[in-house]
Structure 1
Amino acid sequence: MKSTALDFDHLIEALAQAHGALRAQAVKAVNVSLTLRNWLFGYYIREYEQSGADRSIYGERLLETLAQRLQQMGLQRIEARELRRYRQFYLAYPQIRQTLSAKLPGLQIRETPPPESDLPAVSPQLLLERLSFSHFVELLQLDNAPQRTFYEVEALRGHWSVRELKRQIATQYFQRSALSTDKAAVATLAHADAERASPQQVIRDPYVFEFLGLKSHEVVTEGQLEDALLDKLQAFLLELGHGFCFEARQQRLRIGGEHFFVDLVFYHRVLKCHVLIELKNDAFSHEHLGQLNAYVSYYKQHQMTEGDQPPVGILLCTRKNQELVEYALAGMSNQLFVSRYQVQLPGKEQMAAFLHRAVQELEGGSE
């Protein structure tokens, strides 16, 4: 059979298809290796904690000491917090051992029984191939195993991006589905406009870059984004010229024996009150507002001096194309003062517009 000669347009199409297919395969391979490495880190840490010959030397400082030594060896994203996350990952997903043993048959890994559950387990191979480690980071925040399995299945069904998984968890898709008599309708609605994962998103994942030892100014981690937004927000409020006086950043409060940190603290010399600002780089939740109210109440009780008005809290939640601003007042009943603060402080629309512009600028204007 005579083959048809390629014309130039078909040549371009063939090369683009080859590039796309093999790039996607490479991304998948890197992602699987990264996830397995993190699981293995968690496994070894747990094994050492339980039976390490000299574990008593390090005690509660084990992870901090371990992180420091690994950083000296050049490993990226190795902080005590991340090591705790890897240990949690191993404990939550012991079944990944099956895949790791198949890929690295020389490793001697003790078998750990999976957590008890009435739900059918999702194949570890499928989880590894279709979910990035950033997906697992979101899933690990769910203590309820059935709830975590539910989101695993839905994320696989919908090919959800990490951002979409976060959104579905934040909007309590699991709870809404459990309470609904028409679960199919809830699922259809949840998946209708869901953002699907793409190879580009995985390539830009900070975990992947740091695993490969690469640097890129295009990659902005959530923590870096929040820091940059706080920088811009601080400058924005001071430039308004409405009486904002900067006091503190990451102000530590001790409440009920625990330490908490307020993102930004200003004193407003016109309103004669403290202004506390909390920035959340995710969707609004009542827990966020409750946390801010606790900070405002603390300042009212411990920081107000003679002549001060009650403090004001501003909660900022931001994602691309979605900004929300909420104010929290510490028991204000004086309507005159409420009207006054609404004139002196930036309005919700003004703050939302600022956040939208700032996020776009920091993320390169991409949507």
Structure 2
Amino acid sequence: MSSTREKQLDNIEYNALLLAVKERISEASTSAALAVNRELIFLYWHIGRTIHLKQRDEGWGTRIIERLAGDLKREIPDRKGFSAGNLNRMIQFYREYPALLTHSSGKNHAYLPEDSPQAVGKMETKRSADAISPQAVGKLEKTSGASSSGNESTISTMKDQKQASEAALVLHVPWGHNMLLISKVKDMKVRRWYMEQTVVNGWSRNVLSSMIESDAYERSGATLTNFDERLPEGQAALAKEVFRDEYSLDMVPDFGEAVKERDIERALIQQLERFLIELGIGFTFAGRQYHLELEGKDYYLDLLFFHTKLRCYIVIDLKIGEFIPEYAGKMNFYCNLVNERMREEYMEPTIGLILCQEKNKVVAKYALQGMREPIGVAEYKLNRRLPKTLTSDLPTVQQIEDKLNTSGV
């Protein structure tokens, strides 16, 4: 092996090590921050609940918010976060989650009703600090009952478990993230998915907002792969969690109809941080147009990554237009070559991901069946803006204003 190749491999493995250490440090910092965040969420929820009940039961109006904010600022000037705007958000937060999960004396009380003595009383300051396991989030225990009363008990238990799981997610998501989700995502099933992804991937509020705007939930379907047939069961399950059916490449500028694959590659590297966020946690960049030689011929991989959780190389091949079966054979060859020339003993088999603008699932499925290496096929969208033909049909702001003026509105 040439010294240049050894240097390339050393750099890739060092970058993977660096990313793994950074993730460990981040996890430790996150654990400490989560305990603080839980107490803050409970505090804001309790304040929101107290004001809500006063308004509901004693007829207090909205003016009390301004008065309370002013008095809090005078009484505790060193404490921030109690402006009138944030107090209103606390009320909104309580109304959104009126029975937030609490932990006291080692017992879980899922979704306490407003009139519950435990909810009305002083909230315990001691909380469970155990971190949520991403794999455990959203899983419900399956139980069965023979009688109708047993069935009702089972349904009640499942509801309690689901509510407890949702509440635990709320407590693990920072305040700003929670308010962003409340304002932008009304469907609780969709909101729950964004919470899970925030916890698992450590999304910042800006990243979360970007994911919502790009409809990440709608793009989260399973990638079409042959992983089950080509990877061990555990590795296949993890790989299917890593990849998804569609990727948003909004960071790529509009090159028009003449766009080439190399244009997209260059743009992705120029916006590498955003592209890595779109790919998900665990990806470390290894190279673009990565050069490999076989029998005197040169071969170039569009994009090469190493995944720290899968412990394998990932080859990404970008294609303009619709998927065709020949792409699978080419990717199979690339994965073989990387395994032969670059894979170390501790590494899992290389995975290939073919990114194309469109795919026929039946064609892709048949194309992958004959491949020996693990390969997935996913779509990408360069941008999600309105097409020009539709945009031209929409009224301008001036046209709307003129219409309103003439109608007397």
Q: TM-score, normalised by structure 2?
A: 0.36
Q: Which has the higher contact order (CA 8 A, sep 6+)?
A: 2
